[in-house]
Structure 1
Amino acid sequence: MHNLGTVIKFETLRALKKPTFWLAIFAIPIIYAVIFFIGHITSQQTNEKLKELSEGKFSFQITDESGVVDNNIVGQFEGKISANKEESIKEVKEGSLDAYYYIPKNLQEDKIELYGKDRGFSETDKYRIVLDAILKNSGNTVVEPNKIAVVNKTYKTDQTIFKNGEKYDRVSEMIVPGAFLVIFYFVVSLLSGRMLTSTTEEKENRVTEMILTSISAKTLIVGKIISLFILGVVQIFTLFTPIILGYFAVINGKLSGVNLPDIRPFIENIKLNPISIAIAVTVLVAGFLMITSFIVALGSAMPTAQEAGNWMSFIILALMAPFFMMNMFLVGSNNLAVHVISYFPLTSPIALLLRNTLGTLAIHEAIIGIGLLVMFTAIAITLAVRIFQYGTISYGKKVSLKTLFSNK
């Protein structure tokens, strides 16, 4: 292991010198920001369009047998009451009337009938929007405001939770542990490709025998894993440094001329739980090392990065599986499936971080989970070293389990 420092330095600097490494750091955040921005703009445009449609004037008649429609509301929309359903439908067909609404006596069993003149998809939709507005406004005139608030769920709730005799805000304690969950997701997403190619590059270039003449397989594999960990730390600092500097610039008045939301109340409300933070940091480090070791072992077993990539998708899918089982975590920790995926190697990092964020991870469970992560990391490193040793003489084919465990 006397060349370990050399391997770490070489692998780290080789990655830092590549422009693609720095581009990859900001790729995912930028993509998420663009998607959020497009979604926000689209939502605004949709709301404006709906408002425009609801305010658009058109001729219509309405027949109400249910007795819920207020004639004054109909008049506000410049509509008219019809006593002849067939005649109104005829006018719509002929084009002299834009729309006609027939509201049956029993709204629970029968359907409201809407007849309209075609004006294109978006313009035709305003018929339904105006009908909804008439019915809603009519209902508001005959129902008490408190009942309206209950039905529409527009009432406000001020919730106070107590824990151990003191006021407790779970969300404020979830922010920091949740940040480590986000960090783990981003770092693994950004570095998974580099983890995979860290060993396949040497095999594809046919230089592994030359490397192993001066460096042992154990030193090389451990050095690559440590260098990947260092690169992960670099990515974390690169992503969060602008956010931290921006926050201090805001609170110090450096960006007073920029129209930014004041996040100081939000920051001040964050509560730090030392135990929860310590668990999050430990799980993050142990989980990252374990996943890195497994992926490095996978890369060592495959002849090319392309073939290894086909198998890595299963590792990433298993790693992200807890996100697809979110309901089980929200219900509580007294669930066998939650405990299984909390201790299963590939699902445990995110499962433990998620439970730690939700406050459902007991200290003894965290200790067991972290201990298993460390054990699985050691097993993965051992496998990666052994696979890499035999992979050097297995150009063009996979390292079989029979070969791996039968040779001494």
Structure 2
Amino acid sequence: MARHNLSTVVSFEITRTLTKRRFWIATLIVPVIIGIVVALIVAANTSTDNSVTSQKDQKFSFSYSDASGVVDPAIVKSLGGTEASSGADAIAAVKSGDLDAYFAYPADPAKQATKVYGVDKGIFDNGKYSSVATRILTASAEAKVGDSKLSSLVQGTGPVEATTYDSSGNLSGGIGSVIPPLLFLALFYVVILLLGNQMLTSTLEEKENRVTEMILTTLNPTTLIIGKVISLFVVGIVQMLVFALPIVIGFLFFRNSLNLPAFDLSNLQIDPFQMVIGALLLIGGFILFTGTLVAVGAIMPTAKDAGQIFGVMIALMFVPFYAVTLIVSDPHSFIVQIFTWFPYSAPVTALLRNGFSSLSPAEAIGVVVEQFVLGLIVLQVAVRLFRYGSIEYTRKVSLTSILPRRQAAVGK
């Protein structure tokens, strides 16, 4: 009898689980996302390798000076370069934008750094200057391998020191200009990962405790949802400050004891437009993700059911991260454009592109508007779902079951 009961329970549970649509959605979404990630990694690596290879063949205006006597003028001429009459004049031409690059080859390029000065084209594209400078040395040295100091140049291992200038002729920030706007991306991940589950269960707690009816007798659903969103944002700020405080204290007062690497904050360059866009993308993305998770919590009867959707939301956040090399090296590719405009991958992708200065002002404003508009729409949907789903304790609320009620309410 007990064995019969066991088989009945097992059969019932398996059948009930396998016939649920959300089980298959949650199950199949994992291999689909893995497939997308693998495809993105392959595409990103291929694109990056092609971009790095093509940098050696890119044509741009440049001049050079050679204190080593190694550089072959014929090779330079074939690449469109000329010999500089004066190093100072060549650098001035680069700063003004009249010349793309200037290469200063030292007396011993195998041991001394070749100095490269160029117009700032972005962190990734700036690599073309060093690539071409090294290519010239390598090609020139191949004919003179009998000289011992040129053996490393044939292998392309001579040191190169690159300096770039922005459109105003000022020294570009390099990695120092990338770090400040990327802090907003780190904050976005921290806030969503720390508060995501709380966003999801913020409306489920009252439902599971059967106190929703009492709350709604004294509060408007809109007031309740907006209040929860604001409180979550404040809690997120408090958590970020608490986590950041010991790091700041350790860096400022105990850096030597903790053997922390020195970091010169003066190298950081802050672009006001990038920082404003980063802040707006952070807030807009927070509103959209919070509204979505609150809406999911209003639909689902239990936290266990809602947890499956939470996993999908987190996966959407991390998919662009696997394509980071593609986003940096080829920001205008079709895949990157999809990630930039798809609402739930837009915050991460746009924040990455904003940090690496590949997000145009028009794209930045467009994505910000998209995040805020969709976020507010989702919040309104969450309010309506909570209004009708707050007293549904046993099953998931269907959107189709809400629409007729909305029409009836409008008719009255």
* Alignment TM-score, normalising by the size of structure 1: 0.60
Closer, same or farther: CA 167–335 of 1 in aligned 2, 3 Å = same
Correspondence 1:170 to 2:174 = yes
Counterpart in the other structure of 2:262: 263
Partner of 1:43: none
Amino acid at match of 1:159: A
240-249 vs 302-311, which deviates more? 240-249
Q: Structure 1: how far apart are the matches of 2:401 and 2:149?
A: 77
Rounded Cα–Cα distance in structure 1 between residues aligned with 2:154 and 2:179: 31
Match of 1:396, SS? coil
Measure the CA separation in 1 of the matches of 2:191 and 2:154.
45
| Residue 228 (1) aligns with residue 232 (2) | yes
Cα distance in 1 for partners of 2:357, 2:277 equals 11
Residue 203 of structure 2 is aligned with which of 194, 199, 222? Answer: 199
Aligned to 1:276: 274
| Superposition pairs of residues 7-406 of structure 1, within 5 angstroms | 144=148, 146-148=150-152, 151=155, 154-164=157-167, 165-249=169-253, 258=257, 260-261=259-260, 263-265=262-264, 267-406=265-404
Shift of 1:336: 2.8
RMSD: 2.1
What is the alpha-carbon distance in structure 2 between the residues aligned to residue 259 and residue 383 of structure 1?
50
Percent sequence identity is 35
Shift of 1:202: 1.0
Q: What's the secondary structure of 1:215's corresponding residue?
A: coil
CA distance in 2, matches of 1:239, 1:208: 34
Query: How far off its partner does 1:144 sit?
Result: 4.5
What SS does structure 1 have at the residue aligned with 2:287?
helix
CA contact (8 A) 2:173 2:268 kept: no
Alpha-carbon distance change, 259 to 235 in structure 1, aligned in 2, over 3 angstroms? closer
For the Cα contact (< 8 Å) 1:391–1:399, is it kept in 2? yes
Q: Distance in 2 between matches of 1:168 and 1:148?
A: 30
Instruction: Please give the secondary structure, in 2, of the residue aligned with 1:376.
Output: helix
Distance 1:208 1:175 in 2: 45
**Pair 340,262 (structure 1): closer, same or farther in 2 beyond 3 Å:** closer
Q: Which runs of 5+ in 2 are unaligned?
A: 1-145, 407-412
* CA–CA separation in structure 1 for the residues paired with 2:245 and 2:361: 31
Q: Aligned equivalents of 1:315 and 1:259: distance in 2?
A: 37
1:130-152 C-alpha deviation (Å, 9 max, x unpaired): xxxxxxxxxxxx9946434654x
CA contact (8 A) 2:173 2:267 kept: no
Equivalent residue of 2:171, what SS?
Answer: strand
Q: Do the aligned partners of residues 304 and 354 (structure 1) sit closer, same or farther apart at CA in structure 2, a change above 3 Å counting?
A: same
- Give a deviation string over 1:186-208, Cα, whole Å, max 9, x none: 11111111111111111111111
Between the two proteins, the alignment pairs up a number of residues equal to: 260
| Cα offsets for 1:35-90 (capped at 9, x unmatched) | xxxxxxxxxxxxxxxxxxxxxxxxxxxxxxxxxxxxxxxxxxxxxxxxxxxxxxxx
From the CA coordinates, give the structure whose radius of gyration is larger.
1
- Which runs of at least 4 in structure 1 moved beyond 4 Å after TM superposition? 142-146
Q: Which amino acid aligns with 2:237?
A: V
